[in-house]
Amino acid sequence: MSDARAARNIALIVASAMFMEQLDGTVISTALPVMGQAFHVAPAFMSLAMTSYLLSLAVFIPASGQVADRYGARLVFRAAIVLFTLSSLACAVAPDFGALIAARVVQGMGGAMMVPVGRLIILRSVEKSERITALAWLLTPAMLGPVVGPPLGGLIVTYASWRWIFLINLPIGILGFALVSLYIRDAGEPIIRKFDLVGLVISGLALLFFIGGLEAMTKRDVPLLDCALAVAVSFALGAVYMRHAKRHADPVLDLNLMRIQTFYTSMVAGTLFRVGFAALPFLLPLMLQIGFGLSPAKSGMITFATAASSMVMKSMTVKFLKYFGYRTILIWNGLFCAVFLAVCAAFRPDWPEWLIFAVLLTGGFFRSLQFNAYGSIAYADIEQPRMSAATSFFSTMQQLSASLGIAIAAAVLGLSLSFLGHNTPSLSDFSIAFVAMAALSLPATYICIKLPEAAGAEQAGKIAAVR
């Protein structure tokens, strides 16, 4: 089997498990009212079924790298699939709301191990020359999950029981476990380091308060002062963790990685970009349903265009990066993507449907290229012994940016409603939110300008530098 084919197969095996994790973050969103009726729980409290999962993810992701080093990435990844699959079954048969929340927390623990450890398996198993292609395939579930989840959940609760939302994970989990067992081997020996339990507790609490505060900001029934207090506590804990990390030989989140320019660029510029575009799966369906009056199924089909075109980009990412180089792509493609996000603000019901679809397809194509570039340049200059720390750091920031993007978009939407005196969101409110999120992604370009021309050239096999 060729290196390219082996890299693709490993990436797809890992991606199948990661798609399952990404899907479960959003698939129940449209099913919450039905689930609330089944458990006799008020709709306002049903959001805990989503936030408990997301918060569990955030708390346990930082530990993934050290756990993988100690016990082996393959073993931890398989255990994570088993834990996630069994907890999915527990969610499906939950007799009451409390049992469902407990199962969702365990699900988040499994997902927290699957995402970064799956990425670590690829980085350790695939040759550097095939890394971009493998990571491009791996990033697909990250974009498909938030888009596919809500309409899929709607279809399931419309035509079947809500419990099938979790039962569909069982065959995927069993197949994923079997494929990992057959085709993936551990690369390298386990590395025994002192586990940073104190750092895990501090960072976990910081992330818990930060993401919890941001999630609460999107709920109108939570006082804004309480949300702000939670975020303030998270910043204080973050300062405590920074002091702890300087004193610990192997901190759970290694801040020294930020001294590597390519990793720093991916973390800072990439986070700004991801925050801006994390709002797209949140704002677009609402705009199409509330502003255009479309059904959830219809809006889901249109929104899916942003993810569908990303599949086409997977086979072309390497060619783009090889010819133009990371710096050029990250600067100019980033600007184009910001323009695309701003164009979404101009969508109106009298636009031809094919034109909206074409804009979303084109934007999704180049958005995928930008995600792939940020996702792969993060590891361009990371040495193998530090890969586990880098994947934990990357996954943590990815989780933060997703929550931050939705929270900021919701906040802008709320401010626009108050300023314009609207009781319900109108098209003008959505337009303001889209423009604000596009503007938020623009500073990433300035950071990318500081990258050397040859950044990531070895990984991309870049030929532009010698033209």
pLDDT digits (tens, 9 = 90+) for 375-384: 889 888 888 7
What is the number of structural domains in the chain? Answer: 3
Out of 121-125, 162-166, 260-264, the most confident range is 260-264
Q: Which of 13-27, 76-90, 224-238 has the lowest mean pLDDT?
A: 13-27
35-93 pLDDT per residue, tens: 878 888 776 566 677 778 878 888 888 888 888 888 888 889 999 999 999 999 999 99
Asked if pLDDT for residue 463 goes beyond 80, the answer is: no
pLDDT given at position 232:
92
433-459 pLDDT per residue, tens: 999 999 999 999 999 999 988 877 777
Share of the chain above pLDDT 90, in %: 22
My answer on whether 10 and 48 are in the same domain is: yes
pLDDT given at position 1:
46
pLDDT given at position 464:
46
Per-residue confidence band for 212, with pLDDT thresholds at 50, 70 and 90: confident
Contact at 8 Å (CB) between 111 and 86?
Answer: no
Contact at 8 Å (CB) between 294 and 354?
Answer: no
My answer on whether 36 and 98 are in the same domain is: yes
Asked if pLDDT for residue 158 goes beyond 70, the answer is: yes
Last residue of a domain, one of 190, 206, 237: 190
My answer on whether 90 and 211 are in the same domain is: no
Last residue of a domain, one of 152, 167, 190: 190
Nearest CA-CA partner of 340 in 365, 304, 309 = 365
Asked if pLDDT for residue 9 goes beyond 80, the answer is: no
CATH assignment of the domain containing 294: 1.20.1250.20
pLDDT given at position 126:
75
pLDDT given at position 88:
92
- Span 89-116, average pLDDT: 90
Mean pLDDT estimate for the chain? 82
Exposed/middle/buried for 11, CB within 10 Å: 0-12, 13-18, 19+? Answer: buried
- Span 388-393, average pLDDT: 87
My answer on whether 84 and 5 are in the same domain is: yes
Instruction: Tell me the three state secondary structure of residue 399.
Output: helix
Per-residue confidence band for 132, with pLDDT thresholds at 50, 70 and 90: confident
Asked if pLDDT for residue 277 goes beyond 80, the answer is: yes
Asked if pLDDT for residue 134 goes beyond 60, the answer is: yes
Instruction: Tell me the three state secondary structure of residue 72.
Output: coil
My answer on whether 98 and 166 are in the same domain is: yes
Last residue of a domain, one of 206, 229, 247: 247
My answer on whether 278 and 138 are in the same domain is: no
pLDDT given at position 235:
92
* Geometric angle at alpha carbon 253, from 199 and 401, rounded to 5°: 115
Asked if pLDDT for residue 409 goes beyond 70, the answer is: yes
Asked if pLDDT for residue 188 goes beyond 90, the answer is: no
Q: How far apart are CA 199 and CA 428, in angstroms?
A: 45
My answer on whether 305 and 160 are in the same domain is: no
Asked if pLDDT for residue 207 goes beyond 90, the answer is: no
My answer on whether 185 and 304 are in the same domain is: no
Per-residue confidence band for 330, with pLDDT thresholds at 50, 70 and 90: very high
My answer on whether 183 and 201 are in the same domain is: no
Q: How far apart are CA 296 and CA 301, in angstroms?
A: 9
339-358 pLDDT per residue, tens: 999 999 999 999 998 899 88
My answer on whether 102 and 215 are in the same domain is: no
Contact at 8 Å (CB) between 131 and 3?
Answer: no
Share of the chain above pLDDT 70, in %: 86
Of residues 153 and 362, more confidence is placed in 362
* Contacts for 186 with CB less than 8 Å, ≥ 6 apart: 72, 73, 74, 75
Of residues 291 and 44, more confidence is placed in 291
**What kind and span of H or E run contains 143?**
helix 131-159
Contact at 8 Å (CB) between 413 and 425?
Answer: yes
Per-residue confidence band for 297, with pLDDT thresholds at 50, 70 and 90: low
Long-range contacts of 42-51, Cβ-Cβ distance < 8 Å, separation of 24 or more: 44/219, 44/221, 45/97, 47/219, 48/101, 49/100, 49/101, 49/104, 50/25, 50/26, 51/212, 51/215
Of residues 446 and 403, more confidence is placed in 446
Q: Which of 18-32, 89-103, 251-265, 420-434 has the lowest mean pLDDT?
A: 18-32
pLDDT given at position 25:
66
Residue 98's domain comprises 1-190
Per-residue confidence band for 467, with pLDDT thresholds at 50, 70 and 90: very low
pLDDT given at position 210:
86
Of residues 350 and 19, more confidence is placed in 350
Q: Which of 19-23, 110-114, 180-184, 285-289 has the lowest mean pLDDT?
A: 19-23
My answer on whether 18 and 157 are in the same domain is: yes
My answer on whether 294 and 385 are in the same domain is: yes
